[in-house]
Amino acid sequence: MSRYFLEVSYKGSRYAGFQIQDNANTIQAEVEKALKVYFRSAISLTGSSRTDAGVHAAQNYFHFDFTEKEATAISASVYHLNAI
């Protein structure tokens, strides 16, 4: 199993904060959706912090553990995840 770290920046104006909520759109939910599209498997993120609704982040970190076949080209993965 490998652990991957993601550094992200975002404008949080349209989001109800970082952490997943049942009744609102959040940054964590959007990033998990992108990972699911790319890896074709549900991936649960662990964040280093949380933000309130409408807060922007210049630098925020997540990590996830991935047990399936490793991505062969990390730079290609970053490009594709950013596109999603």
DSSP 13: T
Of the residues 33, 52, 54, 84, only one is catalytic, namely 52
Q: What is the dihedral of CA 12, 16, 17, 22, to 10 degrees?
A: -140
Whether 22 is a known active-site residue: answer: no
Between CA 13 and CA 4 the distance in angstroms is: 27
Active site residue ranges: 52
